Structure 1
Amino acid sequence: MSPRRNETGGQIDRLKTIRFTFDGVPYTGHAGDTLASALLASGVTLMGRSFKYHRPRGVLSAGVDEPNALVTVLRGTAREPNIPATAIEIYDGLRAESQNRFPSLNWDVGAVNQLASKVIGAGFYYKTFMGPVIGPLQGTRFWMFCEHFIRRAAGLGRAGTVADDARYERMNAFCDVLVVGSGPAGLMAAKSAADSGARVILAELDPRFGGSANWSGETIDGARIADWASEIVNALKGRKNVRLLPRTAVWGYYDGNTLAALERVSDHKETAARGEPRHRHWTIRSKSVVLATGALERPLVFPGNDRPGVMLAGAAQRYTNQFGVIPGEKITLFTNNDTAYQAAASLKKAGANVATIVDVRIDISDQARALAASAGAELIAGHAVCETDGGKALSGIRIQRLDRASGTLTGEPRSIQSDCLLVSGGWSPVLHLASQAGAKPEWDEKLQAFLPPKPTQNWSGAGAFTGRLATADAILEGHAAGIAAAGGNARLMEKPAVEPASVNPEPAPVFEIKAKGKSFVDFQHDVTADDVRLAHREGFISVEHLKRYTTLGMATDQGKSSNVPGLAIMAEALGKPIPEVGTTRFRPPYTAVSIGSLAAERYGDLKPERLTPMHDWHLAQGATMYSAGLWFRPMIYGHAGETVEQAYVREAKAVRETAGIVDVSTLGKIAVQGPDAAELLDRVYTNIFSTLPVGKARYGLMLREDGLAFDDGTTWRLGQDDFLMTTTTANAGKVMQHLEYFLDVIWPELKVTVTSVTDEWAGAAIGGPKAREILAACVEDTAVDNAALPFMGIVHGKIADVPVMICRLSFSGEMAFEVYCGAGHGTHVWQALIDAGKPFGLVPYGLEALGTLRIEKGHVTGAEIDGRTTARDLHLDWMLSKKKPFIGSAMMDREGLIAADRLQLVGIVALDNRPLNGGAHIVEELDEENPHGSIGHITACCYAPALGKYIALALVQGGKGRRGTRAYVSDPLRKRFGPVQIVSHHFFDPEGTRMHG
């Protein structure tokens, strides 16, 4: 038997022994153990090292709020860091390692950081590493010198570099009621909703349903409630309208009652079953949500409160009652509320030696005193722990009398021998999901806790989440509102034969025990009470600034244990009550989410690939392909020995001199049809389409509602109520969503249908001086001369007996035509065009040449329409109609969007005739040692064969007024600096004579 394991009790299977290793040392546990409980049962108290000071740390909690015992799990050659040992179910062959230590957990050289603790407090990065270096490296920034070493020391666990071979899944689910948490309150809500016929999903973070009823004796007879909960779970398992999701963390609450959850399907197994995923990610859309997420116990803030052996009282109670593990041989409790007395009684009942209870309050209720007496513990009221003793394990504590009026300690310290100190600083409802749903929590002075906000979405709360601990009355009578919101009736289940205990859970006000030594607020990041006060002195008085300056409540903690104590200390420093100081807004994820589950089937060989109808032809011709979003498109058709630049220059030059052909099947194509089709286009485009004649096309620009440019493309009028809209390849899906949203939500009265037909059409663009002659040589049944096919005109005909539709428009600046046919005939028509063009010197060209041609002409794409630019920035203000409103017209003239110093599109010529790089900055003064003063950046660049120069398009502040001036390119990452000239973005044929012919 393990040294701290009781022979009976708990919910583990003592007949099944599990073997695992921690830091290479073999241990055993039992089925049902967590890694933390199994290590505690084996007498292990040191489980980790703290982030900054490398202080020895033991387990503090028993759930996902664990800040100290973070470990790395090894599976084969893969490693997953930063997992709480309290959340890992042990299995045969489990290998876990401690983190943030070298060379070992017991002997960590990083502990020397404690000697420098006075200079590495909050904000030390900013105050230490920004000055100049003195000595041999004089002239460089201190940060540049130290960055390598700092980054090596940063972080907790070490991420793996080997590809993860586990399988992941994504699921979508729809329900009437989603219940988050399966404690008694959650079970009540789930059963009531299921009884009413509603479709119910019940998600539980832990392996077993029943929540705290599995282990708790807090305020009621835990065994009886556990039996009651088990009966409900068994009844729910047989319901067709109920889905039970154990080991599932609901981690995000989004608009429209959409929630995200992670199901840990096989983490608790040595080997996943065939086809079984490791994790399954759920996107759940629910009509209503019941949040029964419970409450988390808070630690107390006093010197030495992080020593191994200091543990939350509720966690110790869970280890004892659920796992049969006694947390220490001589236990002391330190509390500011009555719930710790229930823990003392529960521990005593399990055989623990509870020697002392220290309470900061003077007035202790008769019920609490009776529980202390039943535990055989000495009760010391009006005192506080002022110091702890021991190195890598607790050996004793010291207490002093506390003057609550002044908050000071008085009298001589008293020493108490103890190897386990259980603390309870009150309880904080788990409000993370409610806060994510869109409202601020509300402070309750009586409970000294933030309570749920008023719902802004269709959710209701139940149980300890609402601030009520799990008394029998709270379980059975306090959730009518949640049940009603869940779609069920208000009939409550039969009351089990238990009586509520009369313990008062209201705590004393949250405060710090001030004495000599480090008092930790955020255990994970080594944030002390002094750090919080330092942040106040340095002006970081907003709670959001406090969080970021000190790192309080960041990373996996997310304020679970540190939030309220930190706010209380800041409130004291400001001389304000806690509600005036406020609390940070919780953001997803509530618990860590594996990246593999977010990617799931989209990873590796399972990634969707979109191929154009001519894809095999491109490969056969030696094209180098690359992905443009999900599409694969030719980059170049390289000849032997050619560089990429040589290939695209040759192809672009051929288009200018003779003719070229490019695959444009990937352009988004949307059929817009119906009596109000023209009206819809007038509303979504900045220019007018209702006047467009049948058989003609027009270039159009769309804005977002905020007045910024969204997408451009051409739309063809094929009939009176029949249009074909084309979009950029990258924005095809976004434009479709844009149209559907406005038709479904804003303008449902419009009689229009929009249908994505991108995959129905194969497209080829043929352009150059010989383009019309090539087309005339192969098109049947129609003329393609200027009279029959003027600029932006559309004709129908045949090529190689295949019906085609041809529109005369140009992206290259040359006379050009887009030829569309059914996707199944794409290669056939493409080959016919190639054959017809051979006598004229037609060449196929790829995206690099296409980009070169468009840069020479100054055409914009997604690189310039980047979500920050306006039509005026891009010189497209001529397309802004003054005769009609359109999406974005109400916002496009805001002061900030018409300022003279906005980034505006210009052309750039490299005066040193060297290649330019996308993303490089444009500066007025060149400083290679200290790059600064950016006035813009390059969006696209190339060597222009039409000009014989390296050119670029760029967005530059006040660009229209800078034409003809000189500046510099500053690209420190790629060591490219040099002079440039700012010119018009129309480099080639600005009048368009070649395009119009």
Structure 2
Amino acid sequence: MSAHRVAGRGRIDADAPLNFSFDGRAFQGRRGDTIASALLANGVRVMGRSFKYHRPRGPWGAWVDDPNAIMNVALNGVELPNCPATTTYLEEGMAARSVNAFPSARFDLKGGLDLFHRWLGAGFYYKTFMWPDWHLFEPMIRRMAGLGAVSDAVLEGYVADQLHDRCEVLVVGGGAAGLVAARSAAEAGQDVCLVEDHAECGGGVWQRAEIEGTAPADWVAAQVAAIVAAGGRVLTRATAFGVFDHRMVGIVENRAFGQAPRLRRMRAGRIVLASGALDRPVTFANNDRPGVMSVDGAGEMLARYGVLVGRRIAVVANNSAARAVLPALVQAGAEVVEVDPAAGPIRVLGAKRIRGLDQGGRRVEADTVLASGGLTPLVHLWRHAGGKLDWCDARQAFIPGRAPEGMVAVGAAAGAFDLESALEEARGVARGGAVEASVSHYHLTPLWPAPGAKGRQWIDFQHDVTLKDVELAARENYVSVEHLKRYTTLGMASDQGKTANMAGLAAMAAIQGRPIPEVGTTTFRPPFVPIPIETYHGAHRGQLWHPLKRLALEEAHRAAGAALGEYGGWLRPGWYGQGDVAQIIAEEVRMARGTAGIFDASPLGKIEVMGPDAEAFVDFVYYNTIRTLKPGHIRYGFLLSEGGAVMDDGVIARVDQDRFVISCSSSHVDGVRTHLEAWRQDGNDPDRIFIHDTTQHWATVTMTGPKAREIVGALGLEVDLSAEAFPHMRLREVVWQGGPLRIARVSFTGDVSFELSIRASRAEELWQALIAAGAPLGAGPLGLEALSIMRAEKGYLIIGKDTDGETMPHDLGFGIPRQKKTVAFIGDRSLHNAKANSTARKQLVGLRVAEGAVMLPTGAHVVEAGTQRSLGYVTSSYDSPTLDRPIALALIEDGVAQMGREVTIWHLGETRRATICGPCAFDPEGERLHA
């Protein structure tokens, strides 16, 4: 064991050594150590550098109260930035390096900045770099700003889980008061959850020889066991970092290093705050030197990690709680000398290693200085919840005042620094009693910064804020505590005022000659401790940002050998089988044109619009006239934006007088639904129009091709499927196998097609029946890629692919409603402005290449001869298996008027020739569609 370890002390496993490195040097710690405790055990004092002056820094505290020892830590290929060394548990093979230091914390090239401290006081950059131009200096200053560095690989696989939870009583803090409160509440039959940020509960109990006549380890184990036995939960390595509206507490659960924490959103009926108190610094000259620690921090290092922080210790303290720690240090082998801070100004001797103290010419030999200016209750969460603070002269501290609804503070967090009274109050609170904190055995002599004192006295160790900086801020009229904070950066960043605030407030109060409570406090904001940004990730990201929707027939498609891919937010079959993909897709097209193809069209929208005003509503939202549509009939139409651009195309079916079904594009369902809902609530009586998205309630299987009627007929439906009885664009509702089946005669291929919609739970039954009926005829499943070719052969468009954000209906050949529809509709006025009537509008046309030429690239530009100005571009392009030649669709300026014209196609520096033609290349007369 190290010479700084004390045998038999601490909660570490002395028989489990762990190898690690710091700034390139190899060290050894023990399981249960933090990086800071392991380094202290190895005699390392300098663990970091301050932000502005790059002064050497060692740990001040032993846990979240330490602002100094911050490191980048790497393990197993994962490197995390800005890890507090006092709260990062040691693991085998860790490589830690100090931040804000180069090449090491021990020797930092930028340490010379401290020589210029006279010119680098608070707010210096606001004044020094204004002339001749701030922007000349800004890049350099920004490069020097910040702590730590993020590795490119740091977030690889670093994903935080999030979960929602609830309990009747949430106890924050697993010290003595928290354990007793949680046990009492659990044994009273309440649903209790206790959260503790250390790896094990106990808090300050570990510094005591015994508690309630029992050894600390036995007492803590008994409390935890009783809580669990009564049905309560105990979460360790879990930090409550913020209290939000309606008693929602954010809890971050730290797991193995390199694994992102879990965020637990806890809704609590009642919150018991048992977060404890912190030891606050004392201001004296050079009080920031490595080896100056809090008394409580030294006690924790000894009690939890078996580390004696020094052999010759000088103690500068003003309170009884600090003196109670000293006997344990003496018993562990330290020589302890108490220095009365009231006897004269104190100055630390030594730079990177302390040589002693000087007090008015009297030298005190020491290798370590422990300081304690009194205890400060940890009230951050109390303030997050809106609780008020009261000033207590006896404690010289702010303590919880008027409570937020459903929240109570106990133990040291409430100002009860005496253990016996804290336990008694904690038991009472758990039973619903009141809190009246006692200070019976705790006493202190006020000890605050003295303005005008000589030497550099540090108030904020991390940001290099001195007493003189506070005095400067006051001279420049930054007397508000919020202005003081921002002007000097006091209490910012990871410290969040835990060590710096009280001294800063007291200094400003003394300068102004006002009592501390009149100066007030800064605003406490979450998070209480630094937590990874990944923890805050929103729900809408990755799969949760745009969830991949799944087909009811997914397993059937997989069994058929489908190649599944994402199409419009759905996982859909692109084609079926393995091998030459282009050949497979071409064969599917030929199959569907020759016999029939069976296609899963379930993602097509099925949004029902119902109610007495449904007819007027759909007539208003559609570009086409819908009020003349008869029940059982279907009409193709456009939905427009207010700017007149086409946002969706599809069909609308009238089921009966007051009920319509809108079948929009698969990828537009969510957008169309919100579009309809927005207009339903604007100028309409929402009690007379109802919109219901049934897309995922119905599965749709489409049979398309010359044999489609024969295959559907094999289902034995009681409906006449003949062209005369069931023509194109009609709807029938029938019964199949005892359940409802909706049949629509619509087509996206140009061939006879039947869309059969059935309850999603019966989709596979229908699919297999059609597959079985089609197989003897040579029909089979059809993928989305083949369907895309077939629709392009027919000249059918896909909104967003064959249109852009300015495409209007008349650009697509649908100009009659613009001229003849007399009632108002969405986008109507925009269709008649100068831009809408321009002859230079891009119109949908086809492009034909010479015989033997290869197909045109999608996205290629149609250019004006001589100027190379783009006249439009190719939107869709395929090799047509049906026509045995390339086909293409394009948006071209005044394209309809240029039918038959040969144009130049430009793509990536190469030019081609093509002829503008009509978009429909297959069965332009529609004979197959109406057969």
Q: Shared fold (TM-score greater than 0.5)?
A: yes
Structure 1 pair 555–286 and aligned structure 2 pair: CA distance change class (3 A):
same
Closer/same/farther in 2, CA of residues 30 and 788 from structure 1, 3 Å limit: same
Distance (whole Å) between structure 2 residues aligned to residue 716 and residue 627 of structure 1: 25
The 1:754/1:605 distance shift into structure 2, 3 A limit, reads closer
2:803 corresponds to 1:851: no
Map of 1:759-778 to 2, 5 A cutoff?
759-762=696-699
Say whether residues 1:204 and 2:196 are aligned partners: yes
Q: Which residue of 1 aligns with 2:136?
A: 142
Shift of 1:292: 0.9
TM-score by length of 1: 0.61
CA contact (8 A) 1:168 1:278 kept: yes
Structure 1 vs Structure 2: percent identity of aligned residues? 30
2:915 is aligned to none
- Partners of 1:617 and 1:827 within 8 A in 2: no
User: Does the C-alpha gap of structure 1 residues 557 and 779 become closer, same or farther in structure 2, counting only changes over 3 Å?
Assistant: farther
Match of 1:704 in 2: none
Give yes or no for the alignment of 1:584 onto 2:523.
yes
The C-alpha deviation readout for 1:712-731, integer Å capped at 9, x for no partner, is 99999978999989999999
Equivalent in the alignment of 1:471: 419
2:921 maps to: none
- Which whole-Å deviations, capped at 9, do the CAs of 1:459-509 have from their partners, x for residues lacking one? 3221111122143122224552x31xxxx47699xxxxxx99733157445
2:190 equivalent to 1:191? no
Residue of structure 1 in register with 2:167 after alignment: 175
- The answer for the alignment partner of 1:257 in structure 2 is 247
What are the within-5 Å matches in structure 2 for residues 36-435 of structure 1?
36-117=36-117, 118-119=119-120, 121-122=122-123, 124=125, 128=129, 132=133, 141-142=135-136, 146=139, 150-151=142-143, 154-159=146-151, 161=153, 164=156, 172-216=164-208, 224=214, 226=216, 229-230=219-220, 232-233=222-223, 235-236=225-226, 239=229, 241-267=231-257, 280-355=262-337, 377=338, 379=340, 381-385=342-346, 387-399=347-359, 414-435=362-383
Rounded Cα–Cα distance in structure 1 between residues aligned with 2:638 and 2:531: 44
Shift of 1:320: 2.8
Q: 1:517 to 1:946 in 2, by over 3 A?
A: farther
CA distance in 2, matches of 1:618, 1:13: 53
CA contact (8 A) 1:252 1:589 kept: yes
For normalisation by structure 2, the TM-score amounts to 0.64
Q: Decide which of 442, 456, 461 is 1:503's aligned counterpart.
A: 442
Hey, what's the Cα distance between the residues in 1 that align with 2:330 and 2:88? 27
Aligned CA distance change for structure 1 residues 564 and 826 (closer, same or farther; 3 Å): farther
Match of 1:444 in 2: 391
Cross-structure match for 1:555: 493
Give yes or no for contact 2:614–2:658 (8 Å, CA) kept in 1.
no
- Relative distance call for 1:697 and 1:518 in structure 2 (3 A) is farther
Q: Which has the larger radius of gyration?
A: 2
In the alignment, the residues of structure 2 paired with residue 697 and residue 297 of structure 1 have an alpha-carbon distance, to the nearest angstrom, of 77
Contact 2:415–2:439 at 8 Å: present in 1 too?
Answer: no
**1:183 counterpart letter in structure 2:** G
1:778 to 1:170, Cα distance in 2 relative to 1, 3 A: same
CA contact (8 A) 2:296 2:325 kept: yes
User: Which amino acid in the other structure matches residue 65 of structure 1?
Assistant: D
1:843 partner SS: helix
Instruction: Provide the residue aligned with 1:967 in structure 2.
Output: none
More deviation, 418-427/601-610: 601-610
Query: Partners of 1:543 and 1:809 in 2: how far apart?
Result: 72
Q: Distance in 2 between matches of 1:586 and 1:542?
A: 18
Letter in 1 for 2:307: V
In structure 1, list runs of 5 or more residues that go unmatched.
134-140, 269-276, 356-376, 400-411, 493-498, 635-639, 643-660, 702-710, 741-749, 861-876, 881-906, 910-941, 952-997
- Cα 1:826–1:527 change in 2 (3 A) is farther
What is the alpha-carbon distance in structure 1 between the residues aligned to residue 709 and residue 475 of structure 2?
80
5 Å matches for 1:912-951? none
* Amino acid aligned to 1:142: L
Partners in 2 of 1:491 and 1:573 — Cα distance? 38
- Cα distance, 1:633–1:31 mapped onto 2, change above 3 Å: same
Structure 2 counterpart SS, 1:850: coil
| Partner of residue 566, structure 1 | 504
Deviation at 1:449, TM superposition (A): 3.1
The answer to whether the Cα contact below 8 Å between 1:779 and 1:797 also exists between their aligned partners in 2 is no
Distance 2:890 2:12 in 1: 78
Match of 2:799, SS? helix
Residues 66 and 512 from structure 1, CA distance in 2 versus in 1: closer, same or farther, beyond 3 angstroms?
farther
State the Cα distance separating 1:241 from its structure 2 match.
0.8
Contact 1:462 1:479 in 2 (8 A): no
Q: Which amino acid aligns with 2:193?
A: I
> Which amino acid in structure 1 is aligned with residue 136 of structure 2?
F
CA distance in 2, matches of 1:351, 1:757: 77
Instruction: Report if the CA contact (8 A) 1:782-1:796 is conserved.
Output: no
Give per-residue Cα distances to partners, 1:65-108, cap 9 Å, x unaligned.
Answer: 22111223322211223222222333444443333322222221
State the 1:294 CA deviation.
0.9
Is the Cα contact below 8 Å between 2:564 and 2:571 reproduced in 1? no
Deviations 1:864-900 (A, max 9, x none): xxxxxxxxxxxxx9889xxxxxxxxxxxxxxxxxxxx
Report matched runs for 1:594-605 at 5 Å.
595=534
- C-alpha contact (below 8 Å) 2:728/2:746 kept by paired residues: no
Q: CA RMSD in A?
A: 6.8
Q: Which amino acid is the alignment partner of residue 503 of structure 2? A: P
Residues 583, 380 of structure 1: alpha-carbon distance in 2 compared, 3 angstrom cutoff: closer
Report if the CA contact (8 A) 2:546-2:569 is conserved.
Answer: no
Structure 1 residue 62, shift from structure 2 partner: 0.6
**1:26 shift after superposition:** 3.3
One-letter code aligned to 1:850: I
CA contact (8 A) 1:806 1:818 kept: yes
In 1: Cα distance, 2:213 partner to 2:444 partner? 21
> Is the contact between residue 763 and residue 820 of structure 1 (CA under 8 Å) also seen in structure 2?
yes
Q: Do the aligned partners of residues 678 and 854 (structure 1) sit closer, same or farther apart at CA in structure 2, a change above 3 Å counting?
A: farther
Q: Is the 8 A contact 1:176 1:200 kept in 2?
A: yes
Shift of residue 45 of structure 1? 0.9
Q: Report which stretch shifted further, 757-766 or 502-511.
A: 757-766
For 1:223 and 1:428, locate their aligned partners in 2 and report how far apart those are by CA, in whole Å: 28
Report how far residue 111 of structure 1 moved: 1.6
Deviation string, structure 1 residues 1-45 (Cα, Å, up to 9, x no partner) = 42233344444444x151322324333344443332232222211
Q: CA deviation at 1:328?
A: 1.9
Question: Residue 169 and residue 946 in structure 1: after superposition, are their counterparts in 2 closer, same or farther (change >3 A)?
Answer: closer
Whole-Å Cα distance in 2 between the matches of residues 840 and 77 of structure 1? Answer: 45
Gaps of 5+ in 2: 575-579, 583-597, 640-647, 678-686, 714-718, 810-823, 828-839, 843-874, 877-887, 895-931
DSSP-derived class of the 1:397 partner? strand
Structure 1 pair 601/739, CA: closer, same or farther in 2 (3 Å)?
Answer: closer
Q: Would you say the 8 A contact 1:279–1:597 is kept in 2?
A: no
Q: What is the Cα deviation at residue 47 of structure 1?
A: 1.3
Q: Determine if contact 2:205/2:211 at 8 Å carries over to the other structure.
A: no
Give the number of aligned pairs: 780
What is the identity, as a one-letter code, of the residue corresponding to 2:167? C
Q: Judging changes above 3 Å, is the alpha-carbon distance between structure 1 residues 633 and 459 closer, same or farther for their aligned structure 2 residues?
A: farther
Give distance in 1, aligned partners of 2:240 and 2:747. 51
